[in-house]
Structure 1
Amino acid sequence: MRERISSSAWRLIGVAAGLLPAVPVLATDGHVLHGVGSVNQAMGGAGIATSIDAIGSNYNNVSSISFLEKDSVEFGAELFIPDRSFSASTPFASGRVDSSTREAVIPSVGLAYKIDQDWTFGFTALGIGGFGVDYPANLPNASGNFNPLAVPQQFGGFGSIYSNYQLMQITPSIAYRLNRDFSVGVGFNLDWASLAVDPWPATPPNASGYPSGSHAATSWGQGFTVGATYQALSNLALGLSFKSPQWFSDFGWDSQYPNGTPAKFQFQLDYPMIVGGGLSYKPVEDLILAADLKWINYSGTNGFEKKNFAASASGPYVQGFGWENIWTVALGAQYRITPRFTLRAGYNYSDNPIPSDQQFFNVFAPAIVQHHLTLGGGFNFTPALELNLAYYHAFQNDVSGSFISSGGPGYPAMNQPIPGTSVTNRLAENSVSAQVVYRFD
């Protein structure tokens, strides 16, 4: 008889889910985490057809939980360490500023429970994306050795630049096994997000500059996910997954301009639709090879689709992030070396969603890394208890573009590049994580 999930396990799940809004999150495929939990991250994020762990399966393809060998409850934590800087230059000044590290601890929790031979219940609560920087201000000087975008607003720059976007998601799901080889699933996504940006350039300025959005605004969102998994052969599985846009209410701030004038403004920022397909192949009993392909629809997402400046009576303001749609590829391998020890490795590639002509507007959100290498392993202390560890490195990417004119006197027309200027965003990432899996008979 299968062991029931205890009330203590449910309490632990509740505690872990309650911790999620307390932590900042940063991301790797655009602003989307390339993988969730140590098992899925070590596989390069490939998980649409793998059915290896509850966290990765329920996140990547809700139908794949039907093919998990055992029920499980899982807890994970990730230490995410970004390395960010940006440089700016004009004919009169140039300089670089580095962001404070701002490590992030990202918890995750998952559950898969087989109700009967046909129905399986899944649950995840985890951080799924975000971005953030913390750049100091500098002052202009006669030598020209300063970052012209980091001078205070009264000198024509932004001053210190701060952003912190956190995105958490809770997904209960249900999967139904139509027959031995085919499963479908559906999940409901409940989302919570927090957004702080200072200064806030996406609202009209006054004579003193842009207002502060440093007091984080929060928003609730919702969406859904559906998936299908087909066991084409005894050693080959195929999967499809569709994640709807996550529709959020507007973020709103009661703030002030640099001169103390009250400011009240709003911004709509949704989460993009993601469509993916994957396969999992076992050439031999102890080896799993996996590959996923995903498309992320930024150009159709509120907050990301609009770009450049818009004119207003009091001055130009930024309309949105101006991101483009991207493709991502995830490749992973798992090899069970002994009955107790498993080794994993992977690679993840993502298009850069921020074109060169939008780098100026995305100093606040430099989500430009493209290549990730991942490594991890799992150790079974008992047949029921497993510890998994993972590490990944996102290689530094540098992308440059010109300053974009706001149309002021003596400058090119609005939204045209300013000759002789450049801004370069740089980003690299490291991460270590652990995930405990307890499987039920």
Structure 2
Amino acid sequence: MKKIITLRATVVAALLATGSAAWATDGYFPHGYGMKSKGMGGAAVAVTDNAFAGINNPAASVWAGNRAEIGVDIFMPKRSAARVSPNTSPLLEGDVQSDGSAFIVPEFAYNRKIDDRMSWGVTVYGNGGMNTEYPGGNVTCSADGGMTTYQGNLLCGQGKLGVDLMQLIIAPTLAYKLNEQHSVGMSPLLVMQQFKATGLHAFTSTAPGQQMSMNPSNVTDKGADRSTGVGVRLGYLGQLSDTLKFGATYSPKIKMGKFDKYSGLFAGEGSFDIPENFALGINVQVTPAVSVAADYSRINYSGVSAIGNPMSNLAAGNPMGSANGPGFGWSDVNVLKLGVQWQATSTMLLRAGYNQSTNPVKSENVTFNILAPGVITQHYTFGGTYALSKDSEFTWAYMYAPKHTVTGPSMYNGMMGTTTITETIRMSQQSLGVQYGWKF
């Protein structure tokens, strides 16, 4: 037991040290949790062969047995943004790519039976994140319509431009088997998040008629700020027949403490809650060697003001940081996850999957989303598990998300007296992860 407690502490420390997970896949949630799920397009709600019940479905814990998994994902996103301004060229024009091309994302899960009807466990994971770091000093900007110019970043601030959001969640889990076919579970979600922003000086003016924020001194370059919150995830799992499982899971919006250092940036004086989300899933044993899983999930980003409020709220007289201040303008996201698993040999399982989500970023909100280009809509995944012994295994998973772009009108159109300025944000991704699991 002492060894297990030490291992958990080590994993938590590692997660805290990694900084942002830099996820921006299904919005800013990752496409899956645990390497087995990631190899199947993220499908996991009705799957019981892993210990990640705290995030995938708390009710699955009681079916998973005594087991633990520890893994690491190397996440490799490419983020870029461009602005074209035909009537003011070269003023404001630029095409930049974000630094930071690889991020290490660890994960850990533990599950243990209490008796034949109850189990407990814990999952430690990064819920997601937004990370960009664009170079500065390569865009010609103006504070007076072009009479005088200076070299700034793509949003005409000083130095590098970007944001860094990390969310760490520890999910202890308790599950109960109602009978031989049905179970329920609950996971309290203990959340810590960290945020910082740089290069947003263009939004800090205090001049009469030009002030965009209710608190210009708390918009940018304030260093890392942290907040905490407590939520819950509820789950159900049913063995509907010998070959069919059905699962459902729900997590209401998590009210987080405010980012006080960025009270002039996020709506609600620095509020940044975690959106409500739910999922439904099935798992069909097609043959003794082949199973197919499918999940539908929804993430209600529009219910969080800092994420869902449109940019147009600024023009409507709601300054940044106010209750109705502008946000990223993200729409709610619907996600379909499909995965297949094949017992290729007595020691080798192979997996493949596909994940498709709606794009939360609309063209009219493209300017603010230079900071958070979460526009990915498709993921292709592959993976496998090799049994090292009857009690240990090695799992790997690969994900490829092809480039997706969004182009729209720039908020600088109103400031420059033209309607021809457009901006484009782009993202593509790959990830490769490995995991060691053991039974006890």
Fold agreement, TM-score > 0.5: yes
Q: 2:107 & 2:430 partners in 1: Cα distance?
A: 18
Are 2:60 and 1:52 aligned? Answer: no
Matched, 1:34 2:31: yes
Return closer, same or farther for 1:140/1:76 CA change in 2, 3 Å cut-off: closer
Inter-CA distance 151–346: structure 2 relative to 1 (3 Å threshold): farther
Structure 1 residue 223 and structure 2 residue 231: aligned? yes
Alignment of 1:194 onto 2:194: yes
Provide the residue aligned with 2:393 in structure 1.
Answer: 386
Could you tell me how far 1:139 is from its partner in structure 2? Answer: 3.9
Deviation at 1:13, TM superposition (A): 1.4
The aligned residue for residue 107 of structure 1 is 106
Q: What amino acid does structure 2 have at the position aligned with 1:310?
A: L
Relative distance call for 1:118 and 1:392 in structure 2 (3 A) is same
- What residue is the counterpart of 1:66 in the other structure? 62
Q: Return the offset for 1:199.
A: 3.0
- Quote how far apart the aligned CAs of 1:246 are: 1.9
CA distance in 1, matches of 2:110, 2:155: 52
Could you tell me how far apart the structure 2 residues matched to 1:322 and 1:169 are?
Answer: 25
Say whether residues 1:244 and 2:252 are aligned partners. Answer: yes
The secondary structure found in structure 1 opposite 2:260 is: strand
Q: How does 1:269-308 map to 2 (within 5 A)?
A: 269-308=272-311
SS in 1 for 2:228: strand
Q: Given the alignment of the two structures, is residue 310 of structure 1 paired with residue 314 of structure 2, yes or no?
A: yes
Per-residue deviation at 1:87? 0.7
State the match for 1:346 in structure 2: 353
Deviations 1:57-84 (A, max 9, x none): 331111012222x310111111111111
Q: Give the aligned partner of residue 261 of structure 1.
A: none
Counterpart of 1:14 in structure 2 is 9
Question: Do 2:157 and 2:202's aligned partners in 1 also have CA atoms closer than 8 Å?
Answer: no
**Which residue type is aligned with residue 314 of structure 2?**
A
C-alpha displacement of 1:228? 0.5
Letter in 2 for 1:306: N
Q: CA 1:270–1:337 in 2, change beyond 3 Å: closer, same or farther?
A: same
1:181 aligns with: 181
User: Shift in Å at residue 158 of structure 1?
Assistant: 3.1
* 1:128-179 deviations in Å (ceiling 9; x for gaps): 100111111234569xxxxxx99427x9823431211111100001111000
Q: Which range is displaced more, 397-406 or 381-390?
A: 397-406
Structure 2 gaps, min length 5: 142-148
Partners of 2:113 and 2:279 lie apart in 1 by 25
**Which amino acid in structure 2 is aligned with residue 40 of structure 1?**
S
Q: 1:156 to 1:16 in 2, by over 3 A?
A: closer
Question: What secondary structure does 2:45 align onto?
Answer: coil
1:407 CA displacement: 5.2
Letter in 1 for 2:116: Q
8 Å CA contact 1:307, 1:319 repeated in 2: yes
In the alignment, is the contact (CA less than 8 A) between 2:161 and 2:200 conserved in 1? no
Assess if the C-alpha contact under 8 Å between 1:253 and 1:266 holds in 2: no
Match for residue 146 of structure 2?
A: none
Q: Compute the RMSD of aligned alpha carbons.
A: 2.8
Tell me which amino acid in the other structure corresponds to 2:26. D
Of 206, 210, 213, the match for 2:221:
213
Preserved contact between residue 157 and residue 200 of structure 2 (Cα < 8 Å): no
Distance 1:354 1:151 in 2: 28
In the TM superposition, what is the alpha-carbon distance from 1:34 to its structure 2 partner?
A: 1.0
Measure the CA separation in 2 of the matches of 1:314 and 1:339. 62
Asked if structure 1 preserves the Cα contact closer than 8 Å seen for 2:229 and 2:256, the reply is yes
How far apart, in 2, do the equivalents of 1:139 and 1:361 lie?
19
Residues 213 and 255 in structure 1, CA contact (< 8 A), matched pair in contact too: no
Structure 1 distance, partners of 2:232, 2:202, is 29
2:128 matched to which residue of 1?
Answer: 129
**Alignment partners' CA distance in 2, 1:156 and 1:435:** 40
How far, CA to CA, are the matches of 1:247 and 1:329 in structure 2? 27
| Distance in 1 between residues matched to 2:121 and 2:319, nearest whole Å | 50
Question: Amino acid of the residue matched to residue 49 of structure 1?
Answer: A
2:241 to 223, 233, 237: 233
Q: Displacement of 1:361 after TM fit?
A: 1.2
Secondary structure of 1:215 counterpart: coil
Say which SS state the counterpart of residue 224 (structure 2) adopts.
strand
**Which whole-Å CA distance do the structure 2 matches of 1:254 and 1:345 have between them?**
42
After superposition, the Cα gap between the structure-2 partners of 1:351 and 1:201, relative to the gap in structure 1 and judged at 3 Å, is farther
Whether the aligned pair in 2 keeps the contact of 1:205 and 1:315 (CA below 8 Å) is no
1:116 alignment partner in structure 2: 115
User: In 1, Cα distance between the equivalents of 2:202 and 2:59?
Assistant: 40
User: Which structure's residues are more often strand, by fraction?
Assistant: 1
8 Å Cα contact 1:199/1:214 also seen in 2: no
Superposition deviation, residue 230 in structure 1: 0.8
Q: Which residue matches 2:167? A: 167
User: Alpha carbons of 1:277 and 1:255: their partners in 2 closer, same or farther (altered >3 Å)?
Assistant: closer
Does the CA-based 8 Å contact 2:140-2:152 persist in structure 1? no
| Cα deviation, residue 101, structure 1 | 2.7
Partner of 2:331: 324
Q: CA deviation at 1:203?
A: 6.8
SS at match of 1:247: coil
Deviations 1:305-360 (A, max 9, x none): 21225369998786211111110011111111112111111111111111110111
Q: SS of the counterpart of 1:303?
A: helix
Unaligned runs of 5+ residues in structure 1 are 1-5, 143-148, 258-264, 412-417
Contact 1:213 1:253 (8 Å CA) reproduced: no
